[in-house]
């Protein structure tokens, strides 16, 4: 879903998808959940490293997402050793670029973004895309509202829940010393999150 948001909303083409590198549907992949790039209005570029979390509680999901980004940026994997992070990820891109459906010209261009050269006419910065799926509770009384009233109340509830976490997001950026990076955060509520997550995983790993 993060891939869909970055491709369709941000217009950030995919460079690398970790799903395509997995040797087993049950194998966990360290590092970014995907890598995209976007051209900024001024002509510079960003490499966007993806991070996705699906957790019942929104604040917890956001906390875990920023913690994962901190560990990724500082090359710390789940075992505490250093075998992930920006250099490792960029190496993966170079190693697997031939498997992606790019023309030779596009491949050379992507390499120039991953490893910028002095003669480049643009700057390249690292950014992060975050997808959060969390569980929302719908009151029984709300289910009796008309469709338009239900949509309006649900939208207001979601906006309020997200607005209430903005200070928490700022706190985590400061706590993990992630200032200087741009973040593209997409938050989607689900009912019965655990059930929905299992259904989605079954569909994409068939």
3-state secondary structure of 14: strand
Which tens digit of pLDDT belongs to each residue from 97-156?
666 666 777 777 887 877 777 777 888 899 999 999 999 988 888 889 999 999 999 999
Mean pLDDT score, 60-74: 93
Kindly report the backbone phi and psi dihedral angles of residue 49, in degrees, each rounded to the nearest multiple of 5, phi listed first. -100, 130
Would you tell me how many other CB atoms lie within 10 Å of the CB of residue 123?
A: 12
* pLDDT above 80 (res 21): no
Strand order in the sheet with 34-39: 14-17, 34-39, 45-54, 124-135, 183-190
Q: pLDDT value at position 178?
A: 96
Which tens digit of pLDDT belongs to each residue from 80-109?
545 567 777 777 776 666 666 667 777 778
pTM for this model (two decimals): 0.81
3-state secondary structure of 205: coil
Q: pLDDT value at position 109?
A: 80
Query: How many domains would you assign to the chain?
Result: 1
Task: Give the mean pLDDT of the chain.
Answer: 82
- CB of 192 closer than 8 Å to CB of 135: yes
- CB of 67 closer than 8 Å to CB of 178: no
* pLDDT above 80 (res 1): yes
Q: pLDDT value at position 89?
A: 76
Could you tell me the pLDDT band of residue 185, with boundaries at 50, 70 and 90? very high
Q: pLDDT value at position 20?
A: 47
Which tens digit of pLDDT belongs to each residue from 36-49?
999 999 999 999 99
Which CB contacts under 8 angstroms, 24+ apart, belong to 11-16? Answer: 11/38, 12/36, 12/37, 12/38, 12/46, 12/48, 12/129, 13/37, 15/47, 15/93, 15/97, 15/100, 15/110, 15/114, 16/92, 16/93, 16/96, 16/97, 16/100
Q: pLDDT value at position 26?
A: 39
What is the domain extent for residue 33? 2-204
Q: pLDDT value at position 15?
A: 82
Q: pLDDT value at position 131?
A: 96
Q: pLDDT value at position 192?
A: 81
């Amino acid at each position: 879903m993060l891939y869909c948001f970055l491709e369709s909303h941000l217009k950030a083409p995919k460079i690398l998808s970790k799903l395509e590198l997995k040797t087993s549907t049950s194998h966990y992949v360290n590092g970014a959940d995907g890598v995209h790039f976007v051209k900024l209005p001024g002509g510079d570029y960003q490499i966007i490293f993806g991070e996705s979390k699906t957790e019942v509680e929104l604040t917890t999901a956001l906390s875990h997402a920023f913690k994962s980004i901190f560990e990724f940026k500082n090359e710390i994997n789940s075992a505490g050793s250093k075998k992930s992070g920006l250099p490792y990820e960029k190496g993966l891109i170079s190693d697997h670029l031939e498997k992606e459906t790019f023309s030779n010209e596009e491949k050379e261009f992507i390499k120039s973004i991953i490893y910028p050269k002095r003669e480049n006419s643009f700057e390249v910065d690292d950014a992060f895309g975050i997808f959060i799926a969390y569980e929302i509770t719908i009151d029984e009384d709300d289910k009796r509202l008309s469709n338009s009233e239900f949509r309006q109340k649900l939208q207001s509830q979601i906006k309020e829940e997200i607005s209430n976490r903005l200070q928490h997001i700022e706190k985590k950026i400061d706590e993990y010393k992630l200032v200087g990076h741009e973040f593209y955060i997409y938050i989607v509520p689900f009912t019965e999150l655990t059930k929905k997550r299992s259904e989605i995983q079954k569909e994409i790993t068939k």
